[in-house]
A and B are shown apart, each in its own frame.
Chain A
Amino acid sequence: MKNELGENDLELLSACLDGVCEDPAALRARLNAEPELALRLRQLQAVRARLAAIPAPNPPADFAARVTRRAFARKLPVPGATFWMYALPAAVAVLLVVAVATHRPPKQEAAAPDPDAWRIALNAVAESPDAETMAEWIDEEPIQDETSPGDLVGTLADLSAGEAGGLEGADIGGPESSASLIDMMDQMNDVDAAVLAMRLKSGA
């Protein structure tokens, strides 16, 4: 009997309890015809009466005074004009500090290695005297310890042994061979090429 009522009936009785029943006449008719509904309404009224009898804690006598003291002890928000009087200079000061703290003098850029250095070096090789000219020089003035084109071949072969490969035995002895030398150096990595160029320069 106690759990037969549906949600709608529960809401109907609850609304009736609060005096907001939409159709009081219809509800009265149902209450007369359905004793369970009438009992449920009496029980809900009893629940309400018992709720009203529950003791409630009252605030202490000085509650309002204490709250007021605490509320007004805090700084009140600064009104508009005064606020900007302080906020604007403060903001500028903060910006200045940040700017100074983050400022770094511009670095002088380190000279990047010239990727065409080895080409320049090879051009120098290409423009180097041919065998006949060198022979004349030898006649004129014997050169001791000078790097000859043959030595250059050996140097190139040493340098290229690891990565470039295929330079060993290549005919790069004369200026006319500089084009094929460029082709081969294209296969080398940049570092090896730069080293080679420097060695060529120092040997020239």
Chain B
Amino acid sequence: MQEVDDWILAARARNGDQAAFTALVRRYERPIMHFCARMIGNASDAEDVAQECFLALHRSLGRIEPRAQFSTLLFGIARNLTLNHLRDGRRRGRHMSSPMEGLEKEPSTGDQPDRRAQAAEIGTVLIEAINGLAPEHREVLVLRELSQLDYEAIAQIVGCPIGTVRSRLARAREALRVRLTEQDMLP
């Protein structure tokens, strides 16, 4: 069965169709939640921000026009909310919680406890490294590596030229490489 277009669901939701809105949320809840979690660094705050993202979408249904991709619009809302959250957190002096807090367990890598422990350790170092990136580098890395968006969509979401996206992405990747190399976690 062919999926109903995002914008059609949005139009139905605007006219009060709750089922259409629920379908939209289901379609994007995971990528938005992942994005928020990687940007914010802790799962419980990420869920709140993801929820706020969909509520903001609902509030703006009457104003938005189907000019861009729906996902670009939604990630744009999520991006603004996560940046606000990070800014507020800094103002309140709140620190990020443990990098792995609230995350699901590492996918099973067989029955080798050593390998599982090593993968968890690498994951912790990587998340700490991501949290240590400047927000403008972190967002392009997360949007590319975790949300799998292309350069053009990322440029639209963060509001900068594609060339800037390329250079920020290269720097973010290099920072992670350096961090893992320092920990002898790379070849």
Decide if the interface of chain A is mainly helix, strand, loop or mixed. helix
On whether the beta carbons of B173 and A58 are closer than 8 Å, the reply is: no
Show 20 residue pairs from A and B whose CB-CB distance is below 8 angstroms, ordered by the A residue: A11-B166, A13-B170, A14-B166, A14-B170, A18-B169, A44-B177, A47-B126, A47-B176, A48-B145, A50-B122, A53-B123, A54-B103, A55-B123, A57-B46, A57-B102, A59-B47, A63-B33, A64-B26, A67-B55, A68-B25
Contact of B103 among A57, A66, A74, A77 (CB under 8 A): A57
Residues of chain B contacted by A65 (CB below 8 angstroms): 22
Once the chains are docked, how many angstroms separate the CA of A10 from the CA of B170? 6
Once the chains are docked, how many angstroms separate the CA of A51 from the CA of B144? 11
Decide if the interface of chain B is mainly helix, strand, loop or mixed. helix
Residue B5 at the chain A interface, CB threshold 8 Å: no
Looking at the assembled complex, report how far the CB atom of A64 sits from the nearest CB atom of chain B, in whole angstroms: 4
Q: A42-B187, A55-B103, A56-B104 are in contact. Are A63 and B47 (CB under 8 A)?
A: yes
Interface residues of B, Cβ cutoff 8 Å to A: 16, 18, 21-22, 25-26, 29-30, 33-34, 37-38, 43, 46-47, 50-51, 54-55, 58-59, 62, 100, 102-107, 119, 122-123, 126-127, 144-146, 151, 166-167, 169-171, 173-174, 176-178, 180-181, 185-187
Residues of chain A contacted by B25 (CB below 8 angstroms): 63-64, 67-68
